[in-house]
Amino acid sequence: MATVTFHEAPVNTSGELPAKGAVAPDFVLVANDLSEKTLNDYAGKKKILNIVPSLDTPVCATSTRKFNVEAASLQDTVVLVVSADLPFASGRFCATEGIDKVTALSTFRSTFAKDYGVALVDGPLAGLAARAVVVLDAENKVVYTQLVPEITDEPDYAAALSAARNAS
């Protein structure tokens, strides 16, 4: 279990992020068209998992926009924005915001948040995911993680992007 804060109040997660060097747990997440996506759907590509509580918050929306801009410059890399938002809501958000370089995926019908150790188990956001970034190489090995200490803060974009660019 890890502890982060939400408006400076401590909240706990369900576990720990996957360890650097470990193979990432597989997942089943729901795309905006209600299809199910797994790690295998992105085989052979590096992956940036931008994990957020909800796209319907200012910081989550900002991180999605920033990764959307940066994704265009990344070779053989996909950026997956993972949230608890229903696919309909994330689809609407992406269409309204012009998000077309990242893929929004929902934890709807999924154990992703628990499997990745980011499920918030207490506090006002219990049931949502903590803010985190996990970067995987083309073989799904974890090359970078960040559990953002304060949920209302943005992730370290530069470090995540650098890890993706330098991954094999």
pLDDT tens-digit readout, 120-144: 999 999 999 999 999 999 999 999 9
Which residue blocks in 32-156 are alpha helix, DSSP H? Answer: 58-71, 87-97, 112-115
- Burial group, residue 7, by CB count within 10 angstroms (0-12, 13-18, 19+): exposed
- Active centre residues (catalytic): 60
What share of the chain in percent tops pLDDT 90?
Answer: 90
pLDDT value for 157: 95
**Average pLDDT over the chain, rounded to an integer:** 95
pLDDT value for 71: 80
Nearest alpha carbon to residue 61 among 38, 31, 92: 92
- Burial group, residue 61, by CB count within 10 angstroms (0-12, 13-18, 19+): middle
- Residues 5-57 have pLDDT tens digits of 999 999 999 999 999 999 999 999 999 999 999 999 999 999 999 999 999 99
Provide the terminal-to-terminal Cα distance of the chain, rounded to the nearest Å: 30
pLDDT value for 85: 96
List the CATH code of the domain at 3-166: 3.40.30.10
Residue 108 has pLDDT above 90, yes or no: yes
* Mean predicted confidence (pLDDT) in 80-96: 94
C-beta separation of 97 from 64 below 8 A: yes
pTM of structure: 0.95
72: confidence class by pLDDT, cuts 50, 70, 90: confident
To which residue do tokens 């090995």 refer?
141
pLDDT value for 168: 79
Residue 2 has pLDDT above 90, yes or no: yes
Q: Does residue 2 sit in helix, strand or coil? A: coil
Residue 73 has pLDDT above 90, yes or no: no
pLDDT value for 164: 95
